[in-house]
Amino acid sequence: MSPSTFSRRAFLGVGAAAGVSLGLAACSGGSASTSTSKSLTVAQWGDSTRAGLYEKATKLFTAAHKGTTAKLQYADLNPYLERLATQAAARKLPDVLWMRDTHIGRYGSAHALLDLSPYFDNQIDTKTLGAAAIPSGKIAGGVYALPTHYVGQATLGSKSLLDAKGIDLNSFTHWDDLAAGATELADPSKGIYGVGDPTVNVTHRHLEAWIRQSGEELFTKGGGVGFTADTVEAWFEFWDKLRKSKVLPSADREVQADSGGSATNFLVTGKAALMMDSSNHLSSLQALTKNPLVMGSIPTVPNSTDDWWFFPPILISAAANTKNPELAAALIGFYCNDVPAAKITLLNQGAPSSDTVRSAIAPALSASDKAFIDQISREQKNPSRALPIRPEGASQLDTILTRTGQQIAYGRQSISAAVAALMTSAKQALPEK
Amino acid sequence: MTTLPRWGASTNARTQAGNHHRGRRLLTHAVIIVAGIAMIYPLIWMIASSFKPDKLIFTEPGLWSSTWTLQNYVDGWNQIGLPFGLFLFNSLIISVACVVGNLFSCTLAAYAFSRLRFRGSGAMFAFMLVTIMLPFQVILVPQYILFQTIGWTNTFLPLIVPKFLGVDSFFIFLMVQFIRGIPRELDEAATVDGCGPIQIFWRVVLPLMRPALAVTAVFTFIWTWNDFLTPLLYLTDQAKFTAPVGLNAFIDSTGVTSYGPMFAMAILSLIPLFIVFLLAQRQLVQGIATTGLK
């Protein structure tokens, strides 16, 4: 045996020994659970505050189900989705997971999620969750998600500015009423805008409402473009007219305010009388300003469809790879319907989807929180046709809409040219299946 | 007397030249300082914001604030339910272990590739180089399946153990290049003195590799400390969070983010990096000069 062969072996030996010993040393910290008790992993997006509330609420479930443990994991939305993608590719999704309405289509049709419909009689009571509950997770015959919470769209307003002109937020039946009111409320000499500009922000729920009111949808059933150029053009024209008459903030001011989040919202800084916003933002905005804020439903187009009402859902799903499907379904039922748990989590994720839960927690809420769930309860009495499942390109469409809004607001493109470009890129992002 | 005017003239000329020279130097410095401030401004802004009450951070976006407070540091330290120091400690353990792992495995692998002759060494070296070019995302899922199957998720093992197996081929390549620059005569002299390959490595090559070791140690530390995706994937238990994952727990992009406490803790988590960089600065510059690292 030559010396070089020997040394090579010696090297391997040293390396292997060191590796093993280190591995063992480090191993002492970890543990693999092999016990027979049933354990569930639960994943959600959000910050540590939300995680703390759900940790506490979930203990009620594990206490009621002997021999069950639940492990919660959380991360902020984008890292959360990144982790889910890896876990889904490895078929190791957490047993129970909160799901975005923008992603349910992808995960559901990839068979990564559990069909919840077999559990509707025993584990999950869906009767209290509203008419939109089951359609919001229904993909090709199965129900892969249910809403634990809803949010909604609203017109928010500064009470003092509205009162000064004697204008009532709830008198805005049509968008033109809102435009007239905003024009009256605007006071350029004091630097006060009539209404904030919703066309340049990252989400476009108010445009979606406009489209549904016009009898169209954002998406077709096949995941394609469900709206016409005329409808979105009318939307951008509506806002551009207000922008040109200085009722709306200039594009750069609006974009700057949007990027600063709640703290720089024009209602908080007292620079606008009205804002189009999500109804769940009322409380977080109210917390930042002493000016009382008021909220109303959003206006409609003339001759609007009456079943346009919709509530973006916060969805929850179970993984197809779960080893305890009944227990996972029971936990989903728990998050949807359990009143003591909801008294802990309150409105952290939105308005509870169950009307029973909503009325049970109402006494514990602040005035603005109560206004939010009251509006949802009131609006849910309206007819509501099912919202199409958001296809894979849904978030890309949001980006395209923001870009279109900004091109118009900055005056870089005419409205018709910008909308034509929008339709082309939207059709590329949303191929009809 | 006649010398005086000449003397004066020459002084004049010299001061003029000096002035000219100094003027150019001042100008260069001014440009560098302005560029430097522009680059460091975001960091200074974050430091300033960490001492402002949360509400004023975006409403008084300049550096100066009407109120200064230490509250963000107090809140941030305790906000997540566990002291932030735990996350810093976790990061420290993982980063130090990764440094040890890389120094151990990369030096040995690099020594083997550059000095020992064995069957298939050329092919293996080429194969190792290929792994540098492999995007991280490609191996993410298979790696996750592997570690999940052996029950290593929620432990530090998936982050540390690979470093002991020489997977950072970039550093191996760096060291191979460095060792190739060490004269072989030294090895031969050691062989004459009765050293085997291990002793040559230990007594001759390793002591001469100091700059390369410093580069590897510092970069491994910084990259591991700042790594977000790997700990995010494998460490789901709050008590095992690293500092970057802990910072993420302050953010709720769909709701309200506590920016003040997050900035405060971000600054705390920069301090160890700063210290490491400060201590290793000289070695690092030497290392960059001698290894051709860019």
CB distance B276 to B214 below 8 Å: no
Q: Where do runs of H (alpha helix) occur along A103-225?
A: 104-109, 159-164, 175-185, 205-213
Stretch A368-397: mean pLDDT: 92
> Which residue range(s) make up the domain with A335?
3-149+312-379
Q: Which residue of B has its CA nearest to A151?
A: B254
Do residue A122 and residue A237 come from a single domain? no
A29 — contact with chain B (CB < 8 Å)?
yes
Are residues A163 and A120 both part of a single domain? no
Domain shared by A113 and A171, yes or no:
no
Question: How far is the first Cα of chain B from the last one, in angstroms, to the nearest whole number?
Answer: 60
Residues A338-353 have a mean pLDDT of 94
State the pLDDT confidence band at A10, using cuts at 50, 70 and 90. Answer: very low
Tokens 């029973």 correspond to what residue? A356
Contact B197 A4 (CB under 8 A): yes
Token code pair at residue B282: 């000289």
pTM (2 decimals)? 0.84
Kindly report, residue by residue over B196-210, the tens digit of the pLDDT: 999 999 999 999 998
What are the CB-based long-range contacts (under 8 Å, 24+) for A215-220? A215/A305, A217/A387, A217/A388, A218/A388, A218/A397, A219/A388, A219/A389, A219/A390, A219/A391, A219/A394, A219/A430, A220/A388, A220/A432
- Please provide the average confidence, as pLDDT, over all residues in chain B: 88
Whether the Cβ atoms of residue B203 and residue B190 lie closer than 8 Å to each other: yes
Q: How many residues does chain A have?
A: 433
* Residue B228: burial class (beta carbons within 10 Å; 0-12, 13-18, 19+): middle
CATH number of the domain residue A239 falls in: 3.40.190.10
In this structure, are A58 and A159 located in the same domain? no
Q: Per-residue pLDDT averaged across A80-107, rounded?
A: 93
Q: Is A147 exposed, middle or buried (0-12, 13-18, 19+ CB in 10 A)?
A: buried
Q: Read off the pLDDT of residues B65-115 as tens digits, 9 standing for 90 and up.
A: 788 888 999 989 988 889 999 999 999 999 999 999 999 999 999 999 999
Q: Are residues A74 and A217 in the same domain?
A: no
Residue B155 has pLDDT above 70, yes or no: yes
Answer whether residue A18 shows pLDDT above 50. no
Q: pLDDT tens for residues A393-422?
A: 888 999 999 999 999 999 999 999 999 999
pLDDT at B11: 54
| A300 and A203 in a common domain | yes
Report if residue A384 sits inside a domain: no
- Report residue A35 as tokens: 């016990």
Domain count, chain A: 2
Which H or E run includes B196? none
- Within a domain: residue A221? yes
Between A132 and A120, the higher pLDDT residue: A120
Q: Do B233 and A284 touch (CB under 8 A)?
A: no
Residue B246: pLDDT over 90: yes
Q: Is A10 touching B (CB cutoff 8 A)?
A: yes
Smallest CA-to-CA distance from B242 within B125, B91, B135, B22 is with B91
Instruction: Retrieve residue A43's tokens.
Output: 């994943």
User: Does residue A264 share a domain with residue A188?
Assistant: yes
Instruction: For residues A121 and A162, state if they share a domain.
Output: no
Report the residue from B55, B108, B232 with minimal CB separation from A11: B108
Do A72 and A117 sit in the same domain of this protein? Answer: yes
Same domain, A19 and A133: yes
Q: What is the pLDDT of residues A190-224, one digit of tens each?
A: 999 999 999 999 999 999 999 999 999 999 988 99
* Best CA proximity match to A73, nearest among A92, A54, A60: A54
The tokens of A93 are what?
């999704």
A52 CB-near residues (< 8 Å, 6+ apart)? B81
| pLDDT, greater one: A323 or B57 | A323
Mean pLDDT of B44-64: 85
Give whole-number Cα distances, B244 to A53, A151, B90, in Å. Answer: 22, 30, 11
- Check pLDDT > 70 for residue A262: yes
Q: For residue A266, what is the nearest residue in chain B, using CA coordinates?
A: B59
Distances (CA, A) of B186 to B77, B291, B292: 53, 19, 22
Is the CB of A23 less than 8 angstroms away from the CB of B157? yes
